[in-house]
Amino acid sequence: MRMPPHRSDPDTQPGTDWHAQELLLMREVMKLVGRSLAPAFVLREMLHLMSELLGLNRGRMVLADEAVPGAERTASVRHAYGLTAEEAARGVFRWGEGITGRVLASGLPAIVQDVDAEPLFLFRTVARAQLPPQTVAFIALPIEVNGATVGVLGCHRIRSRQRHLNDDLALLRILATLAGQLLQLEQLVAEERRQLAARNEALEHALDVGSARYGLIGRSPALLQALGELERVSQSQATVLLLGESGTGKELFARAVHLASGRRDQPFIKVNCSAIPDTLFESELFGYERGAFTGASTARAGWFEQANSGTIFLDEIGELPLAMQSKLLRTLQEGTLVRLGGTREIRIDVRLVAATNRDLAREVQAGGFRQDLYYRLNVIPIRLPSLRERREDVRALALHFVSRANQAHQRNVNLAPDALARLEAHDWPGNIRELGNLIERLVLLADHTLVTAAALERFMPEALKDARPAPASAPIPPALPAAAGLVRDYQSATSHDAQTLQDALTRHQGNQSRAAQSLGLTLRQFSYRLRKAGLR
């Protein structure tokens, strides 16, 4: 409900000390400013005090609305005292419209001695019947911010009052100036917030771009260069060949190619060529029809068909048998495939991302890889950096793996600064995969929640520790049996020459599994070294 317009009019109180009332008003307003810089709260209370202490009733702050291109500028009642919600909602004025609109347009104050005698007075907010029967005056002063008029401070007063109109006008000038300063402060704070929000957004974007884009952790120049190349070609349909050492994150890069492309909502199929037996390659990649072989009771779509409209990632493509290489080449060139045991060509739309840690150019020269397929794959080669080429990322990766392992195993292990420095000093021949495995082992087996560099040493495989010359007087410790270590030592691809491999095979009558075990290798590692040595 709207208060009666003259409910506490000081004119009804004989002998009013107007100077004391003005001081009280200013003191209370400044208290409000000191308590809160929110203009809405201070301005509303200012209008309240104007009415209660000085009899300046139905006070309102008319502030400019947000500019709309092509539309007339308007201003609306934002803060009021003595007006109902419906009356305040009607208080919308165009620039130059009525008394309020003229003050907005000219920036000059306006004093209406008698609202009934002024044709420009619109009675838009309060109807004449709702005003006191006496002669009512209206005062409107501009509110300025940075020299521009942004609003109007207006109020009604009974003209026949004991207080001089000039005194009211002088005080209202002060209050209008204070209102402009509060609004200016609000604009400055809002602008600061916008700038901070934009800066935070930019920083978050920079962190996303530089530190964890597509789940790839790191900010090193080598990593960002590879990511930049990836994003530049992501929208094309060209085949991408990911090169680099084992454990550098080829699968994550392949998925990043998919996510950055227009196929992101379509299937992403990953195939590890080294894990498929030679006899099953064709049926796995291209599918088979019913009755194609014993046990084929139903037809099955291969990986290429399942990846239709999406992306297929062929990891370790260097392991693909020569017989399958020609069929893969035909599928890539023609965009069709024929299932095993079938006669019908099936059209597919698949983007290929391939990866290998082998030197395919050398394999082509040795006759182990088709030259035409190599050229078909080598359209967009992207080399992934090894971890020793991006040492500045080791710390972020290690902390990421620690956090993930802690969550997975309900542990609370942390790395001390010297332990992180120790990890950064390693070359990591097994790259990110090896670092992640070591961190998981450390989280599971650590005796204390804080792992120092000294405590870290026992988790580091011997082959990974820095080569440090032993003192001349220090005895050489005896070699431990293979089973004594926590993990199998990492061995480089050139760790065994051809003669060593051949001797191991001879000792175990050609049994590759036992020969590999005797040399501390997995069967896959042993087979790979045999191929590199030309023994297979």
| pLDDT single digits (tens) 445-456 | 998 889 999 999
What sign has the CA pseudo-torsion 156, 157, 159, 165? negative
Q: How confident is the model at residue 509 (pLDDT cuts 50, 70, 90)?
A: low
Least confident range from 61-65, 174-178, 190-194: namely 190-194
Give per-residue pLDDT as tens, 36-67: 767 888 999 999 999 999 999 999 999 999 88
Percent of the chain scored above 70 by pLDDT? 88
Interaxial angle between packed helices 221-233 and 250-260, expressed in degrees from 0 to 180 and rounded to the nearest 10: 40
Rg of the chain (C-alpha set): 41
Give per-residue pLDDT as tens, 210-259: 445 677 888 889 998 998 899 899 888 999 999 999 999 999 999 999 99
Name the residue among 420, 454, 425, 421 with its Cα closest to residue 439: 420
Q: What is the pTM of this model?
A: 0.50
388-458: which CATH topology?
Helicase, Ruva Protein; domain 3 (1.10.8)
Least confident range from 50-59, 355-364, 395-404, 467-476: namely 467-476
Architecture of domain 20-189: 2-Layer Sandwich (3.30)
Phi then psi for residue 55, to 5 deg, are 75, 20
CATH number of 221-385: 3.40.50.300
pLDDT at 468: 41
pLDDT at 201: 63
Checking if the pLDDT of 10 tops 80, the result is no
User: What gap in Å lies between CA 536 and CA 278, rounded to an integer?
Assistant: 15
